[in-house]
Every structure is written in structure tokens, then in C-alpha cells.
Structure 1
Amino acid sequence: MKNHPILHKEAVSLLSELIATPSFSREEKHTSGIIEDFLIERGCVVERSGNNVWAFAAPFDRNKSTVWLNSHHDTVKPNSGYTIDPFQPLIKDNKLFGLGSNDAGASLVCLLSAFIHFLGIDLPFNLVMIASAEEEISGKDGIASIISQLPPCDLAIVGEPTEMAVAVAEKGLMVIDAKTFGKAGHAAREEGENAIYLALDDLQKIKSFEFSRGSEFLGKSKVSATVIHAGQQHNVVPDVCEFVLDVRVTDAYTLEEALEELKDQLAAELKPRSMRLQSSRLPKEHFAWSLIENLKLKTYGSPTLSDQALIPYPSIKMGPGDSARSHTANEFIYLNEIQEGINGYIQLLEAYSDLINNTI
């Protein structure tokens, strides 16, 4: 596999600049400016909406297929375990330390490097680079806000730390507000119908509940009770009990299907807060499977959310770094992982170009 030392040097420099620039979710103005300038300096025509930045590698051709390269430039806030300055990029022992270095700064700069590599090359597909905001909170002003401004894609490559394995399925998330309704009464006189006891019946079912369908890559969907509240006074039987269900849904279900299966089993009123964060899976007939097979890439199902949940097109998730390092103190990325990320993305796009050219 060919190395790209100049791209690697520029990627490390850009990542260091991004680390040094705080970019908490909804506060990514300055990092979006850095990314915009980086692309403009290399001759790109850049579009921007809020803190989302994107560019095309060449003028859009409606007769070609389209590939999105996407990663995010927002970060979580540093936790109390940091023993170094999270905003001071530090290179030590072949590691680049700093907040967002692993999640997902390395993926972002590697995708940008691959994108720059293909500028000026006559590709048989449209290539779009998208640096999105608010991924860490699945915010409404992140990638979801620009989907309508972008051409539909045949494949989205979402950059997240996966050790360059390919996540071909990802769990979705649904948070449900549940309520049981009883009848208020005086606690001393066995009056009323206790909503807590009604909720207990449902909670016992939830404790042992299993969804009927499983996933090849992600196993079973899972529901957990995480919050509960009822009653105001010690001597009043509560007429309402409220609890929250956290539902992690595999690609075997849409959120709507999972909700209906829960409604069939539980007595409580169930109201989902949102149906936005759907599970995803690369369709079995998709051309990306042949690329994965030809390049002998490892595949798996991811339990963690990403912008995949908001992209309504076929997608895979892959990138340098280790998901286990995400959101940890003294976050870092290995310098050689950045090189591997650049190489891997370029190789994947070259393989797709060859696939198209061989079928024309």
C-alpha cells in the first residue's frame, strides 16, 4: 500500500490546529472556519450552512454516481480525568494527544486528505466532502439540516474511529416516555389504584423482554428502563407513574416496528421523544460489499451512534483510531493510524473507481 507523506504531514498539522480550537457541539464556528480555509487554499469551491462545510472534488455531473465523505468536527467537553491540557496538541511516543484527536478528528483529516488527493482527477463518480457539526448530540443543525442541499449519494463513507474496520450495520436509538394511569386515594384506606404497581408489572416484563427478531451483525435489540417518577405525598396513592425506556434498535427493526412490538407487550402509554435516529445496514446487494471483499476489510456491527443514523442513503462507517478511546481522558491518536487512515480511504475510492471503469 502506497504511503502519502505530504498528505500525512498536512493532516497532522490540520488536526493539531483543530485540537487547539475548542469546538463543543453547537459551538463549532471556529473549526468550521479552519476547515473552510483549508479547502479554499487548495482550490475548492466551498459551501457552508451554519457550522457544516462541504465541497465537491469536481463540478457535479448528474450522469455519475455520488460518494459522500463525512465526518464531524464537534467534540464532547473534556472530562475531569485529563492530566494534560485537552486543547494543547502534544506529540509524544508516536501519539498525538488532544480532545477530539481520536473522535473523530483523525477520521476527518484523513477523509479531507483523501479528498484533496483526488482533486483534479477525472473520477467516474462525484466526490463530496462534508464536515458536519453537532454529531455528538445528533443535533438538528448538524448533517440533518443540509441533506436537502446535497445530491443523493450511492454511498456515504462516515469517518469514525473503527480501527479501519467497516461497520456495515449500526444500532439506532429511541427514547420513550412511558406512563401508567391509576386512581388517586388515601394511602391509609386502601383506596384508589396505585400507578406504581401498574408500572411494576410493565417493568418486570421489560426486565426479561426480548425482541422477536435478531440481527446478523448486532444480535438482539435491547430495551432498558432508566428513569422513574411517581407520587408527591407519602399518604396519597399516586394516580400516575412515569418512566423512561432507552431502546437500542438493531437493523432488524425500524424504530416504528420496535415501538409497535413494545406496545403489544406493555400496558403503559408509550410516547417516543423522537424517531430520527434510525438503525442502518448496508443492503446485501450494494456494490460496496464487493469493494469490502476485494480489499479484505473486516466488517462488524456498531453499537454506537453516528451521523449514519441521520443519512437516508446507503452508508458504511470506518476510520482510524479506536472507539474505546473516545470521550476518555488524555485522548490520543497514533501518528501511524493517521497514515493508515489516509491510505485506506484512498485505496477504497480507487477500488470504486476501478469497479466503475471495469463495468463501463
Structure 2
Amino acid sequence: MKTIKTLTQEAIALLKSLIETPSLSSQEDKTALLIENWFSQNNIPFFRENNNVWAYAKHFDKAKPTLLLNSHHDTVKPNQGYTNNPFEAIVKDGKLFGLGSNDAGGCLVSLLATFVCFYAQENLSHNIVIVASAEEESSGENGLNSVLKHLPEIDCAIVGEPTLMQLAIAEKGLLVLDVIVKGTASHAAHTNEDNAIYKALDIIKWFKNYKFEKISDVLGPVKMTVTQFNAGSQHNVVPAECHLVIDIRVNDCYTNEEILKTVQKHTNAEIKPRTMHLKASSIPISHSLVQAGMALGRKTYGSPTLSDQSVLSCQSVKLGPGETLRSHSANEFIFITEIEEGIDLYIKILNAFLIVL
């Protein structure tokens, strides 16, 4: 049995390798191989579909509930502000720099180390399955959502995202709408009472001012934002259509379907949702998984950012080393001590949660 210190050192080494192996969303095949090698080196059987890799703890029992450990190994594209090589793992002043170090490589390797620690333990109250998922950053078809059909029913989950090891007990869902406002095309010199752009202004005003009645105790209100506007091709032609894109962050009081019906009711336009499955998630503060974290001094909060929680139907908590404000930033980094603390806290939380029968 490896010591926690050894597992931590190996996890940090794996993170360095992950950083130096490009894994843009939907192009994670080489980092999937690194994760396969991690399982092989620890004598753990694993499964893979596309670029998702998963494994079960040794003493799986169908009669027991199942805990999912999940984080992702894909990254966004490095932004133009980088002064470091985004694909070089650089350690400086206690920081490990590199693309994906904070989001969410540090979380992933910390969960992998934790899983190894519990892999062979017997008589636990829950089964454990870990999934290193792909395509999280792009909400792609071949990410965690595609793997769930292969897994047993999941009762609860820890989703590894940078939260400074605080407990995100709720997460807003995402609904993106393409809105087409139709009018009548005409020459700009002529009177036109059916100008698509003018009609769109009223719709934009509605999105700006409408307030959904239910406000979540943890996530606050639903937030709707017009993020794109496109119409017209030349100065003297009134266009027949105006196109809007609406970003809606949904709290845990509403389903995406309920939000869509409200929008359709109040807007005279063609509404096309890009996706409906990125739903809000939450877990009661009374849940034993949350209580285990709180007993270790962890605070609870609601997260406005999206993660693989959005495709889970079970109760889940978002928890991991690193800080969300560093995600997608230039010269992204995670503190080495954050990984050490992350592994330590994950293990302590699971020791409290996975009651030995």
C-alpha cells in the first residue's frame, strides 16, 4: 500500500505530464492514455470509451449505493495573454504553471490519488466509481453524459472543479437560446411598421427587465443576458430578420423546460434552444457528504459556473483544489500545496462519509 506522501508525489508528476500533453476539448486521446497508464501502474482495471476513462473500486457490491468521483482532462485553447509556454509544466515560487493545471488537472489528479487510496478497502458503505471525463469544456456529446449509460445508478457525486476546497452545494444550469425576430424587408427610404430591428429592441428590453419569481437560497435569481445581436447587411435595407443569442443561468428552482416556456410565452419570436440538458444541480446541506466536509471547516456556497454536474441526475457537490478565478486565464497555475491539501481533505471527507460496515 502506497503512502499518502508517495501518492501525492505521483499525482503531481501526472499533472505535469497532463499539462505537457495537449488535450483541447474533443482532442484528449493522448491524455486519456496517460490516465490509462496511471490505472495500470496502480494495478487497477479500467474502461475507456472515446476519451473518457473510468474504473471501479475493487469490492463493488450491487446492493450498495454508489459514489461517483469525477473530473475532466480536457482544456480550453490557451488565450493570447500567455507569456509562458502553456504546454510546459513550470514550477516557480510554489506554483505549478501550465494550461489545465488549475482547471481541472489539479482536481483530477487529486481525485485519482484519493481513489487509489480507497480502491482496495473492504466493507465501505458505498461503492466508488471514478470517471476522468472528456469534452467538459465544450459540453460535447462524448463527455461524461455519454458514459453514464455504462455506469450503475449513481446516488451522489463529487465533481472536481477548483473551489479552494470549499463546498459548492448548488450550481446554476445553462440554457442558450437562438432568437430570430422576423419583420418585413424594405428600402430604408420607405415607411416600414414591421422593422425586425425595432421589434428586437422590445424583446431585448423584456430579457433585460423580466424577473423570474423564484429566488434560490443558494444560487439567487435566474439571470438572463443578451450576448449577441446580428442584423442587416447594408445601410439602405431594412432586414427581414434580426438574430439574438441569449445566455440564461438557471437556478435550482426551475427546470430548463420551464424557463423556455416562459420565454416563448412573452416573446414574439422564433426560439431555438441549443441544448436542454445542462441543468441546475444541488445537494441538501444536511447530506452526509456535505456534513463531512463542513466538519472539516469547509464552507458552503452556490456556484454560477457550469461543470459536469449539469449532466448528473443525482445529488452532487463541486469540490476541488485551485481557484475558479484562475480558470481560462493567461499563465494558469495551481499551488503545489493546494494539491497536497486537496488530496488530504478528499481522503478525510471520504473517511467520514464511507462508513465502514
Q: Same fold, TM exceeding 0.5? A: yes
Judge conservation of contact 2:290–2:317 (CA < 8 Å) in 1. no
Distance 2:108 2:192 in 1: 61
Distance 1:98 1:232 in 2: 42
2:9 is equivalent to residue 9 of structure 1: yes
| Deviation by residue 1:184-212 (Cα, 9 ceiling, x = unmatched) | 33332314521111111111222222221
Poorly superposed stretches of 4+, deviation over 6 Å: none
**What residue is the counterpart of 2:296 in the other structure?**
295
Amino acid at match of 2:156: L
What is the identity percentage for the equivalent residue pairs of Structure 1 and Structure 2? 49
Query: What TM-score do you get using the length of structure 1 for normalisation?
Result: 0.94
Q: Which moved more, 1:235-244 or 1:38-47?
A: 235-244
Distance 2:234 2:85 in 1: 48
Distance 2:66 2:110 in 1: 19
**What residue is the counterpart of 1:274 in the other structure?**
275
**SS in structure 1 at match of 2:225:** strand
Note the aligned Cα RMSD (angstroms): 1.7
Amino acid at match of 2:324: S
**What residue is the counterpart of 1:322 in the other structure?**
323
Judge conservation of contact 1:171–1:279 (CA < 8 Å) in 2. yes
Amino acid at match of 1:172: G
**SS in structure 1 at match of 2:248:** strand
**What residue is the counterpart of 2:200 in the other structure?**
199
Query: What TM-score do you get using the length of structure 2 for normalisation?
Result: 0.94
Judge conservation of contact 2:59–2:121 (CA < 8 Å) in 1. no
Judge conservation of contact 2:172–2:303 (CA < 8 Å) in 1. yes
Distance 1:328 1:237 in 2: 41
**What residue is the counterpart of 1:146 in the other structure?**
147
**SS in structure 1 at match of 2:109:** helix
2:307 is equivalent to residue 339 of structure 1: no
Distance 1:170 1:20 in 2: 30
**What residue is the counterpart of 1:49 in the other structure?**
49
**What residue is the counterpart of 1:213 in the other structure?**
214
Q: Which moved more, 1:168-177 or 1:275-284?
A: 275-284
**What residue is the counterpart of 2:258 in the other structure?**
257
**SS in structure 2 at match of 1:295:** coil
2:54 is equivalent to residue 61 of structure 1: no
Amino acid at match of 1:167: A
Amino acid at match of 2:116: I
Give the paired residue count: 354
Unaligned runs of 5+ in 1: none
**SS in structure 1 at match of 2:130:** strand
Instruction: Label 1:327 to 1:232 Cα distance change in 2 as closer, same or farther (>3 A).
Output: closer
Structure 1 position 283, deviation (Å)? 4.0
2:131 is equivalent to residue 119 of structure 1: no
Judge conservation of contact 2:71–2:132 (CA < 8 Å) in 1. yes
2:173 is equivalent to residue 172 of structure 1: yes
Amino acid at match of 2:175: M
**What residue is the counterpart of 1:76 in the other structure?**
76
Instruction: Label 1:17 to 1:233 Cα distance change in 2 as closer, same or farther (>3 A).
Output: closer
Judge conservation of contact 1:186–1:192 (CA < 8 Å) in 2. no
Distance 2:290 2:216 in 1: 18
Structure 1 position 284, deviation (Å)? 5.7
Give 1:220-259 correspondences, 5 Å limit.
Answer: 220-259=221-260
**What residue is the counterpart of 1:156 in the other structure?**
157
| Deviation by residue 1:227-284 (Cα, 9 ceiling, x = unmatched) | 2222344333333222111111111211111112222332222221110211111146
Structure 1 position 4, deviation (Å)? 2.6
Distance 1:17 1:336 in 2: 18
